[in-house]
Structure 1
């Protein structure tokens, strides 16, 4: 009897998973409630060559949805796609993330949320779920620090139930300090050290030349020679 019940439960879970797959992973809704996947970016600031931590995250709100659409965990309901500005080098990737496979676009990363199925259970994204994606990055080229973002990545049909699509994308900004146009003494708003040295050296050379000419004129003056 116990074996029969386990087999029945396994068949029910498999049928539920198959139904979700055929329906494209539509959200489970309860009492007419919707759901929302929200991503949060980061605003980084540092000097060229400095290592920073980009604290990115995803939050889930509202009615639950099935986290994985198959027992092999190969069809997640959605992923989070992360793309950094070109001037940034990624040094460390979170455990739940991996480099995306593409030769036709800028490098990007795909992150999952760690809720997996064994075929006997149905892991759900539930209200209040939160996951962090900390990336370690380094500022290498301060002239290309724009265009970073993260977003919820899934087929449009699957995301129709998202009640707030506006928070499904968030920027990743990187501001370099200590470069031309920055603020403060390190911002480069005044003359650089080599420019100051060049100006100072030129002034010193000009002063020496002036003194040399005055001495020559004084030594060659007839009136002063007679005195």
Structure 2
């Protein structure tokens, strides 16, 4: 049972299709273009080109689209004659890189079919399982001491603090306050008294030695 489910899963993954049908439409008159059965309406101005993408998510070799041209203002069909019966336009879903052109009255249509990312094949029915390896390179730091910005900031702060300390010491040594010296303020009269007393003492000593 598990093998059968695995086979069905692989078969569905290979049969499923993921493509995009690109249509570029141009007209020579103002009109509205309805794309059925996709319920897409495109407003065109004279000689204006518009591009639309129609996703195709199922495996198919071709699709049919009805293009209905309506009046730009009234919204009525531009070709309401009972003899005119719009035919479906068949687009072949072949991933060959070719662009096909067709005309519906005044409407020009350029069609191109290409695969969505991850799908390939002539009908975009194969899913790519190849993953592009991504390599990451890690830069190795060289061995040794690396000086970064933080170390530079720390060293600058330490040097600045040392300079401040040295400058403060120099200022303190050069402009140190002088220590006041102790001295005796002796006046001239006191000096004279001291000298006279010294003379009297010396005379008395001399007199005592003579006697």
TM-score (norm 2): 0.27
Greater relative contact order (CA < 8 Å, ≥ 6 in sequence): 1
State the structure with more CA Rg.
Answer: 2
TM-score (norm 1): 0.26
